[in-house]
Structure 1
Amino acid sequence: MSLVVRRNLVDFQANIHLPLSKSISNRALMIQAYSKPVAIDCGALSDADDTRLLQKNLKLIRKSHNSHIQTVVDCGNAGTVFRFLAGFLASTEGCWLLTGSERMKQRPVSDLVVSLRHLGAEIEYAEKQDFPPLRINGKKLPGGKTRVSMEKSSQFASSLVMMAPTLEKGLELQLEGALSSLPYLDMTLAMMRQSGAIAVRNHDLVTVYPQAYGKAQLKAEADWSAAAFWYELVALSHGGNVLLAGLDVNSLQGDREMIKMFEKLGISSRQEAEGVRIRRIGKVEPNLKFDLHHFPDMLPSLAACCAGLGVEASFCGLANLRHKESDRTLALQQEFSRFGTQFLHESNDSYRLLSNPSTAQFQEQTPVFETYNDHRIAMAFAPLAMVFQQVEIINPAVVEKSYPRFWEEMATSGAVHLKFKNENN
């Protein structure tokens, strides 16, 4: 299955309903699971595949805990679900096999496993050293002091701190390496405090006291991560005007930083009663530089936007993108090369985009983009229809992972027409 995205209007106005934040929803579900039997009200949650999978697995775990028979918990390609459940299963009595897709088995988890073992967890690698699947003998953990690297994923730290209120000694967690994606850890800690936990971060040291979660209500917000692709679409239009309903510039989510990033690309953001309105009103700044240490998920939309605009840009803070749903830096290199744009590796975590998009070759031939089973790659390349008249996206259903209604919202925006193609077309 593929999808042809064809430009309709270069000047358009639209009201877009973003999904609820997957990041907040998944953390709310985990805090709720750790707080049992105290009631944590999660309210409305994201309808993303990852969140549905987490709900399904938590239900399975509740039915199977205390069993001496091994229960297989399959996380598919959902890295967040795997990492969060690793800590939960380690501290939940039972015999567990935590596994995932073939891609998941290529994503290292040794940093998290070492930290959990320091806290008393019994975990073995079921197949390959340092990689999923994991065989876990769940039990009540003493807790105490440990350390974890933030370089591959901040979710390792989030997994550890969310279980910390249930540990006998609480947790003193030393953060090591480059503190990448730190706003996501701060989001976790903020939600924990909303739920009655005592959790404090002092630069690279996190302390969580052994005080159980209390009764609380956790409310998911509109997803800033999903907003990035609308910022990109407006930037590539001549005069797009989009209201992102429900979005809040004072969100818990670190990706609200995209306001400043896309401002460099000529996009204004204004908070209104109904949400955030974005418009293309300015010029693109010269010598574009983006530091994505704390916002690595922003790379696909920002890089594709710069490529479509035909501007050069440098990006740093990308070291952990090899361990996402796909090797995102490699995926971007391969897909950009289809239209004459280079994405050059300059150092361990830095890349430079040299853009010279050639539209002439696509006057009679539609550019076809692979998506590598990666939702953000699919959504990042769709707005390039504003540049190439139309593009074809392979495996468009991959957006279900985080933004199930993305294509529907694209169609209703009026900016593009969509046509799905099956393999026989």
Structure 2
Amino acid sequence: MDLQLKKSQISRLKSEISITGSKSETNRLLLLQALYPNLVLENSSNSDDSEVMLDVLNSFQLLASNSQLFDVHHAGTTMRFLTAYFAIQEGNEVVLTGSSRMKERPIQILVESLNQLGAEISYVENEGFPPIRIKGKKIAKNKISLPANVSSQYISALLLIAPKLENGLELTLEGEITSVPYIKMTLALLNEIGVKTSFEGNIINVSHTVSLDETRSTSQLVVESDWSSASYWYSIVALSEIGTEITLSSYKKNSLQGDAVLVEIYKEFGVETTFENNNILLKKVEPHNLKQIIYNLKNSPDIAQTIAVTCFGLGMGCHLTGLHTLKIKETDRLEALKTELTKLGADISVTNDSLTLQSSGEINKNINITTYQDHRMAMAFAPLALKVPIIIKNAEVVSKSYPAFWDDLKQVGFLF
């Protein structure tokens, strides 16, 4: 489905939008719920990725067969977390596969780490990539080392199963750690359900935990709404008239999510954030008079697309670094940004881990934005409709993380 967005404006200066739970938190908690069934989740994400995760876990628990095939489609987090989960399901054998793009996304670092601990995982087609065959084992080894700059999803996958390993886990991260907030999110969720952890220097320890006390108040967990989804509303407010207000629910001031850094970053674009009653109020005020912004996004790379498009829409330049993980996402997000922004008239260059956008003026109209099966490409570019008409190709891709996105845009006045 291609979606033509006419040049729009926020029709009501004050709007309220409800956003479902964080995909990152939900997928971690779904895996923990499979390991500790007394956990009850509220405000779970309704994203495709979380639905796939839940469907696979439910199917695995319902089916009597000990040899099963599961297709996670485009869900990278699901692929990585389930690889670790199935590695400790003793006596069960599964094959995990996915879309053609998923088969190009590396998983070797996680597979090798699990195998070193005592798992039995092999490749069905190409070495280092899905599909993979996993034979569940009892794992007694408890020490492993990983390069610290790998995807935090590999690290989180190991940490999430660690409480169920016979001797817990001691994980050493070698070098400079990237995506620290996502690692801390995983540890905080483990702590919340009663698992003891420590993170000192580059060494993480997770204690063996047989079961949770069912009388604990933490057995019922409310998932915070998704900050990555909030990023598109920050962009919309930044590109709107002064005085525009949008309220988003429901968010915590002390969030576990790395993308909460949006609060500080978007101050530069004139977006003021106020926390009130578990909601955030975004208000457009007079922006700082900046020609270029410079940020290292190693702890929050998923908001790079949104920030780059916001800068372009405001005629500003930006230099964003710490983006090396974007090349192995749903698409090579750096090259995709370069291609699509260039079509709109931008002067942009990228390297393996950075993006540089020059300040500019005019934006080309009625450009077809290719989304590359990447939900964030569709949503990051949509706010530009506040400046020029724009066409989003394969707009249905937003269901991966934010199924109600287009309906929510209509609610505040976007024209289709």
Q: Does 1:413 align with 2:412?
A: yes
Distance 1:199 1:66, change over 3 A: farther
Residue segments in structure 2 that go unaligned for 5+ positions in a row? none
Alpha-carbon contact 2:155-2:183 (below 8 Å) kept: yes
Q: Does 1:73 align with 2:70?
A: yes
Residue 400 of structure 1 corresponds to: 399
Residue 41 of structure 1 corresponds to: 40
- 1:373-413 CA-partner distances (Å, limit 9, x unpaired): 1111100010001111x111111110101101111110001
Distance (Å, rounded) in 2 between the aligned partners of 1:159 and 1:357: 44
- Percent identity between matched residues is 36
Alpha-carbon contact 2:367-2:390 (below 8 Å) kept: yes
Give, in angstroms, the shift of residue 169 of structure 1: 1.3
Distance (Å, rounded) in 2 between the aligned partners of 1:342 and 1:176: 37
Give, in angstroms, the shift of residue 170 of structure 1: 0.9
Distance 1:213 1:325, change over 3 A: farther
Give, in angstroms, the shift of residue 367 of structure 1: 1.5
Q: Secondary structure at the match of 2:73?
A: coil
Alignment match of 1:287 (pick from 275, 284, 292): 292
After the TM superposition, which residues 51-200 of structure 1 pair with which residues of structure 2 at under 5 Å, given as runs? 51-64=50-63, 67=66, 70-93=67-90, 94-200=92-198
Q: Does 1:275 align with 2:279?
A: yes
Corresponding letter in the other structure for 1:60: S
Distance (Å, rounded) in 1 between the aligned partners of 2:281 and 2:20: 16
Give, in angstroms, the shift of residue 241 of structure 1: 1.2
299-308 or 195-204, larger mean C-alpha shift: 195-204
Give, in angstroms, the shift of residue 245 of structure 1: 2.2
Distance (Å, rounded) in 2 between the aligned partners of 1:78 and 1:143: 29
Distance (Å, rounded) in 2 between the aligned partners of 1:405 and 1:159: 28
Q: Which runs of 4+ in 1 moved over 4 A?
A: none
Q: Does 1:227 align with 2:227?
A: no
Give, in angstroms, the shift of residue 226 of structure 1: 0.5
270-279 or 94-103, larger mean C-alpha shift: 270-279
Distance (Å, rounded) in 2 between the aligned partners of 1:338 and 1:206: 45
Give, in angstroms, the shift of residue 357 of structure 1: 4.5
| CA-atom RMSD in angstroms | 1.6
How many residues align? The count is 407
Alignment match of 2:354 (pick from 332, 350, 354): 350
Distance (Å, rounded) in 1 between the aligned partners of 2:361 and 2:390: 14
Alpha-carbon contact 1:118-1:145 (below 8 Å) kept: no
Residue segments in structure 1 that go unaligned for 5+ positions in a row? 419-425
Distance (Å, rounded) in 2 between the aligned partners of 1:127 and 1:65: 26
Q: Secondary structure at the match of 1:7?
A: coil
Residue 246 of structure 1 corresponds to: 250
Alpha-carbon contact 1:326-1:372 (below 8 Å) kept: yes
277-286 or 158-167, larger mean C-alpha shift: 277-286
Alpha-carbon contact 1:371-1:395 (below 8 Å) kept: yes
Give, in angstroms, the shift of residue 13 of structure 1: 2.2
When normalised by structure 1's length, the TM-score is: 0.92
Residue 239 of structure 2 corresponds to: 236
Distance (Å, rounded) in 1 between the aligned partners of 2:348 and 2:134: 41
Give, in angstroms, the shift of residue 152 of structure 1: 3.6
Distance 1:253 1:213, change over 3 A: farther
Give, in angstroms, the shift of residue 295 of structure 1: 0.1
Q: Does 1:28 align with 2:29?
A: yes
Residue 19 of structure 1 corresponds to: 20
